Amino acid sequence: MENILQRIKAFNTLSDHGIEKFLALLTEVKLPKGHILIEAGKIDHQLYLIEKGIVRAFSITATQYEHTFWFGLEGDAVFSYNSYVKNQPGYESVELLENSLLYKISLSDLQQLYNTDIEFANWGRKLVEHEVVRLEERFISHQFKTASERYKDLLHNSPDLLQRVQLSLLASYLGITPVSLSRIRAEIR
């Protein structure tokens, strides 16, 4: 549970007692590669923390193209934003790209912690703030950087993705075709 503990402690808002209280509410889940953890169009009532494995979030376009827009690695939190914030069906699906070990907590248990304990309210706020910054960085990258710059950022910030994720999914994530990704990779070598 090392990766989960790192994430929980990263925001420096929970005491040792608070961490123990939180861990007691987590349930271990082992799931195989290819499992759809969160399904688009449905309300998901869980927050997952990745101990081991990698996931991708994707949406299917009108032309049935799967557009990957996020990868989650060890220590990351996985949840549907619409379900978490608005209790509405999400637009994203989340697929496990490796056999994975996750820990989950129901959103109702999490909300109960937020409503009754300021430590947890602050932890939840920090978690969401962290995710909002990541989303903003991704949005800005797609708006103002070239595909080559986005790939270089990926090399610098998440080099392990290149070893663990299919090139077609990386290309989708970067907003380019697999052929363009191969060309960029050849230029950088």
For the chain, domain boundaries: 2-115
Average pLDDT of the residues in 58-62: 90
- Indicate whether 51 pLDDT > 90: yes
- Indicate whether 189 pLDDT > 80: no
Q: Bridge partners of 71?
A: 56
Structure tokens at 7: 């994430």
Q: Is the dihedral of CA 82, 158, 145, 173 positive or negative?
A: negative
Burial of 144 (0-12, 13-18, 19+ CB in 10 A): exposed
* CA 154 to centroid of chain Cα atoms: 15
- Indicate whether 168 pLDDT > 80: yes
Residues sharing a CB contact under 8 Å with residue 144, sequence separation 6 or more, in sequence order: none
DSSP helix/strand/coil, 11:
coil
Note the residue count of the chain. 189
How does residue 13 score in pLDDT terms, banded at 50, 70 and 90? confident
Average pLDDT of the residues in 149-163: 92
DSSP helix/strand/coil, 130:
helix
Amino acid at 47: L
How does residue 97 score in pLDDT terms, banded at 50, 70 and 90? very high
Predicted confidence at residue 11, as pLDDT, reads 85
Q: Is the dihedral of CA 98, 133, 79, 75 positive or negative?
A: positive
For the chain, percent of residues with pLDDT exceeding 70: 100
How does residue 10 score in pLDDT terms, banded at 50, 70 and 90? confident
For the domain 2-115, what is the CATH code? 2.60.120.10
